[in-house]
Amino acid sequence: MSSNSQAFQAIKGTYDILPADAPTVLAVREAFAAPLRRAGYGYIETPVFEDINLFSRGVGESTDIVTKEMFAFTTLGGERIALRPEGTASVLRATLEANLHRVGNLPVKLWYSGSQYRYEKPQKGRYRQFWQVGAEAIGAEDPALDAELIILADDAYRSLGLRNFRILLNSLGDRECRPVYRAALQDFLRGLDLDEDTRRRAEINPLRVLDDKRPDVQAQLVGAPMLVDYLCEGCKAYHEQVRELLTAAGVAFEDDPKLVRGLDYYTRTTFEFVHDGLGSQSAVGGGGRYDGLSEMIGGPALPSVGWALGVDRTVLALEAEGITLDAPATTDVFAVPLGEQARRVLFGTVTQLRREGVSADIVYGGKGIKAAMKAADRSGARWAIVAGDRDLAEGNVQLKDLSTGDQTPVALDVLVTTLKEKLQ
């Protein structure tokens, strides 16, 4: 590269997951996925971009996500496309398109894993490309489903060893009781000293104003009417059942009457997992019930509930609690050939070991014995196979235990069997 050119760097708000960090990231994803598989959720993967209207209609015209944070563009064919800012709308679109709600039992239980994209102001714990594992239970209105998903997320976080997180729980009411509350809240907000953007938001979706993090807005919200006081009997009973099921399962939660979350589609149960070691970006996951979303995007009535858990922030939460996850050894056996003939023979041995399910590697680039043994130590392997021309002439290799330094000759024709026995 010429002296006046610069090396490329990752785009602002994105980062690389490098081999040193990958075991933790993969362990977090697996911890989220394992309880879902046990509970009968099937895996689904959707495209990372969709028709922009899927999100503006589904996520909500008044949300920050749609008004300020979407990566939107026009294709060469003139289509308006957006990178997905969240997973639920895409999963519901795929469910409707494939008629999953018609061909099987309801609810349709699905989980996904992948990256989402939002044009946010980057800071620690908030990125423009971020990873989530999500779960959706589509097509049934049952407090047990809401409780099930919260319990599965709680189990997932605990399986990683996390303890300093809390579950915030609220009900956002339904079509019967929310309009009454909405009118009362709008009346209250019209009397406040708010900027023009916030006043506009108060007219479109006043609940979003409760979620405003600015201290001057929060100070004015003291004494605002609370949704909990406006819930209809049906919503009260439903919410009480969710609370009872969580308590019976030993899952602790805190009632938070101000919890609304940043998406317009939530109804009834809404919840958030927050971690106290992460500062302002404390939400590590959350979700809720979205009974009207299917109709918003052109489908039939399909009451549903789901959540998304943040992989990036959960990794930060593990750091905050000082939890290191044991990384699996990447290599069991490392081959050190001394000479050209040994290189050919040991390359064949390494290939055979891999085909037998043993993780094996070989030194590359013609290193000398000292550098080669250093490479074997760095690989984290338990065993090294060392062979020169004299060993091979006798039909042997030297098998070295890298944890003790002991070395013994082993016949080449029983080497693979011997190694497999020792590794068991």
Binding residues for L-histidine: 86-88, 118, 132, 136, 261, 265-266
Residue 120 structure tokens: 């946010």
Pairing of strands 80-83, 49-51: antiparallel
Query: Could you tell me which residues are beta bridge partners of residue 135?
Result: 111, 307
Task: Tell me the Ramachandran region of residue 371: left when phi exceeds 0, alpha when psi lies from -120 to 50, beta otherwise.
Answer: alpha
Instruction: Compute the distance between CA of residue 209 and CA of residue 217 in angstroms, rounded to an integer.
Output: 8
CB burial of 346-375 (b: ≥16 within 10 Å; e: otherwise) equals beebbeebeeeebbbbbbeeeeeeeebbeb
Burial grade of 219 (CB within 10 A; 0-12, 13-18, 19 or more):
exposed
**Residue entry with tokens 């993780």:** 359
Cα separations (Å) of 66 from 171, 264, 281, 380, 384?
Answer: 24, 11, 20, 47, 56
Instruction: Compute the distance between CA of residue 130 and CA of residue 116 in angstroms, rounded to an integer.
Output: 5
Residue 175 structure tokens: 């079509």
Instruction: Compute the distance between CA of residue 263 and CA of residue 208 in angstroms, rounded to an integer.
Output: 8
Contact 287, 202 (CB under 8 A): no
Q: Among residues 205, 113, 168, 125, which one has the least CA distance to residue 288?
A: 168
Instruction: Compute the distance between CA of residue 108 and CA of residue 111 in angstroms, rounded to an integer.
Output: 10
Question: Got the DSSP string for 97-114?
Answer: HTTHHHHSPSSEEEEEEE
**Residue entry with tokens 């235990």:** 401
